[in-house]
Amino acid sequence: MKTIKEIAEMLQQTSDPEPWMNKLEDDHRAGVKTELRKWYRNYEKKQQLEQMLQEKISFDNSFKTYDGALVAGVDEAGRGPLAGPVVCAAVILPEEATVLTGLNDSKKLSIQERDRLAAIIKEVAISYSVHIQSADRIDEMNIYAATRESMEKAVSALETRPEIVLADAMKLQVGCRSESIIKGDAQSLAIAAASILAKTTRDQLMNRIHEEFPMYNFNKNVGYGTADHVEALHLHGPCHHHRKTFEPVKSILEGR
C-alpha cells in the first residue's frame, strides 16, 4: 500500500482523472481523502479557467470577418486617480493562446499573477504597444479625451496593423473598424491582455514616482484619493504629478 505522501506526489503529477484514482475513493485514510478532494478542487478550477479562456477567445473571434483576421484589444489603467499618468495598451494575440489560461480583468488578479501574465503576453503577442499619457496632458484635454487619444496612439504604435480594434468602453478613430465593448476586459482576451500591460506598466511608474515623492504613498495608493493621500495633499500640497483639474487637488491649489 502506498503512503499518503506517495499518493499526494502521484496526484500532483496527474493532470486529468485516471482509472487508478477511482480506487482512492475506497481508501479509508483521512489523509488520502483530503489529498483527493484537494486534487478535484484544483482540477475543477483549472477546467473553469480553461472554459473562461475559450469563451474570451470565441468572443474575439466573433468579430473577425475572415479566418486569420487580426484583432487588437485596447484598455487603460489610471483614469480615476488624483495623480500619475493614464497608461493605455494595445495587444494583438495569436490564435493559439492556451498559455494565457487564467487571463482576466487585471483588477481581479494578484500583483504576482499580473506580473507573470504580463511577461507571457509580451512573449507571445503578435504585437503590443503601451502609451503613457501625462498628468499635464490630462489637465489640458480632460480625462476622457486624454484617455481616448492615448488609446489611439497605442493602436497606431502597433508594428502589425489589426483588421479590427476592440476597446474597453471607448469608441476610437484608428483607421480600421473599431468597437466599444462595455466591460471588455471581462469578455475579450485581447482587451484583458491590454488591461494587464496597462496596469503593470502604470504600477511600475507609480512605484518610481513614489521614490521621488514618498510622502504621498504612491506605492500603495497608486495615485488614488485614499484618506492618507488626501491628508498628505493638505499637508504638503500637490506635486507636478498631480492632476490639477481633479478635486480636491484643484481646491487645494486655489486655496494656496
Our CA angle for 100, 101, 102, nearest 5°, is 105
Residue with cell 492632476: 243
Residue 172's pLDDT is: 98
Mean pLDDT value across residues 56-73:
96
Band (pLDDT 50/70/90 cuts) for residue 62 is very high
Mean pLDDT value across residues 107-133:
95
Is the distance from CB of 80 to CB of 144 less than 8 angstroms? no
Mean pLDDT value across residues 236-251:
98
Band (pLDDT 50/70/90 cuts) for residue 244 is very high
The percent of residues above 90 in pLDDT, for the chain, comes to: 91
Residue 255's pLDDT is: 86
pLDDT reading at 42 higher than 90: no
Band (pLDDT 50/70/90 cuts) for residue 105 is confident
E-strand stretches of 93-230: 127-133, 164-168, 177-181
- Run of H or E including 74: strand 71-77
71-204 is a CATH 3.30.420.10 domain: yes
Residue 250's pLDDT is: 97
Mean pLDDT value across residues 202-230:
98
Residue 69's pLDDT is: 97
Q: How many CB atoms lie within 10 A of CB 15?
A: 8
Q: What's at 32, amino acid-wise?
A: V
Mean pLDDT value across residues 153-159:
98
Band (pLDDT 50/70/90 cuts) for residue 161 is very high
The percent of residues above 70 in pLDDT, for the chain, comes to: 100
Task: Please state the pTM of the whole predicted model.
Answer: 0.90
Query: Distance between alpha carbon 157 and the CA centroid of its chain, in Å?
Result: 20
DSSP for residue 175: S
Residue 107's pLDDT is: 82
Residue 175's pLDDT is: 94
Of 75 and 25, the one with more pLDDT: 75
Q: Which sequence spans correspond to the domains of the chain?
A: 4-61, 71-204, 209-254
Mean pLDDT value across residues 150-178:
97
Mean pLDDT of the chain: 95
pLDDT reading at 156 higher than 90: yes
Residue with cell 503613457: 132
Tens digit of pLDDT for each residue in 186-205? 999 999 999 999 999 999 99
Residue 116's pLDDT is: 95
